[in-house]
Structure 1
Amino acid sequence: MSQASVMDIRLAAERDLPRIVEIYNAAVPSRRSTADTETVTPESRREWFHRHEPQRRPLLVGEDQGDIVAWMSFEDFYGRPAYAHTAELSIYIAPEYQGRLLGKRLLQRAEALAPSLDIHTLVGYLFAHNTPSLRLLRASGYQEWGRLLDVARMDGRDYSLCIMGKRLEGAPAPLEAPD
């Protein structure tokens, strides 16, 4: 398989949930992409799956020759109405498909889809030691908007969290603060 894999992106169906969970669970032992310290089950993620409304906060899967190799979700940011135009983005790629530019493709799709979802701002929460994901976001114009020092503890070690964000083109310009 070539370095730049072919990937079709589509809305996730409930039948995809076991593979979505499998890809997510592959990230748990690395302590790089999730603060979950134990694997999850499809049943434990069913409610989360159903919160993803295709017209508002979709859950998408990436396929290579019919096999799901990645997924991406839009989540409400902070859950209050004033933040409705901001979404948290999560991207997970199967280990054997990492490093093949799939994250970049998913991120580009998210940004292209955002206006139709009435999303003006995308944010991501990443561990500060997740160098590949930080590199991807920075190369795509995301900036570090904050850092929470040593807020996660896993395996007796503390980890910091970076808050990365991007105001999307075409979004209404923020109002200037009065002097």
Structure 2
Amino acid sequence: MEIIEILPEHWEEVSRIYQQGMDTGNATFQKTAPKWEEWNASHLEKCRLVGIEEGEVVGWAALSPVSSRCVYAGVTEVSIYIAAEYHGRGFGSQLMKALIQTSETVNIWTLQSGIFPENEGSIHLHLKHGFRKLGIRERVGKMEGRWRDVVLMERRSEVVGVE
């Protein structure tokens, strides 16, 4: 798989994959993928990756800031989505590894994720790449009238922010 920076021309496929994840009901509280402009404004300019296999976008990964306060400049939230038709083929691992490496080149020291407990594949992927479970935020939000928990996960860089 080739991994490159997400560009506006990738948005149609990135958005389709994002919507697939949303449609599972276990990826995010969001219901519909935003327009490019909204997504672009809410994610870091760096650390936006798309995976391409045989000319097809198979998945994407990107980071969002957790706060505008300068002390949190190196703390970000992970988004990673793989097209349903490509699940189980190692593309998520390749994207996560590339995202971690890229994040460290731009001085990110902490990656965090909030994952629905039912999304076992995502939890496994994060654990495989050095994330740890911090705990569970119980009944953090309602989705279609049902309270949902979120597993908090974090990965601290071993090379950035260690001194």
Normalising by structure 1, we get a TM-score of 0.83
- Mapped contact 2:44–2:63 kept (Cα < 8 A): no
What is the distance in 1 between the residues matched to 2:87 and 2:144? 25
**Other-structure match for 2:49:** 60
Q: State the identity %.
A: 28
What is the distance in 2 between the residues matched to 1:50 and 1:18? 17
**Other-structure match for 1:45:** 36
Deviations along 1:24-47, one digit per CA (max 9) or x if unpaired, are 11112211111113x235xx3323
**Considering only aligned residues, what root-mean-square deviation do their CA atoms show, in Å?**
1.7
Deviations along 1:49-102, one digit per CA (max 9) or x if unpaired, are 255454xx3321100111111011111122321100111111011000011111
What is the distance in 1 between the residues matched to 2:161 and 2:58? 35
- Mapped contact 2:131–2:155 kept (Cα < 8 A): yes
Pick from 3, 12, 18: which aligns with 1:9? 3
Secondary structure in structure 1 of the residue aligned to 2:33: coil
Deviations along 1:135-176, one digit per CA (max 9) or x if unpaired, are 1111222111232101122233221011100111112337xx
Amino acid at match of 1:146: G
TM superposition shift of 1:112: 1.2
What is the distance in 2 between the residues matched to 1:63 and 1:24? 15
Pick from 50, 58, 64: which aligns with 1:75? 64
- Mapped contact 1:17–1:49 kept (Cα < 8 A): no
Change (3 A) 1:58 1:141: closer
Q: 1:18-37 to 2 correspondence within 5 Å?
A: 18-37=12-31
Q: 1:124-143 to 2 correspondence within 5 Å?
A: 124-143=113-132
**Other-structure match for 1:4:** none
Structure 2: gaps (5+ residues): none
What is the distance in 2 between the residues matched to 1:78 and 1:156? 29
Rg larger for: 1
- Mapped contact 2:43–2:65 kept (Cα < 8 A): no
- Mapped contact 2:92–2:125 kept (Cα < 8 A): yes
Normalising by structure 2, we get a TM-score of 0.91
Secondary structure in structure 1 of the residue aligned to 2:39: helix
Structure 1 segments of 4+ aligned residues over 3 angstroms from their partners: 50-54
Secondary structure in structure 2 of the residue aligned to 1:160: strand
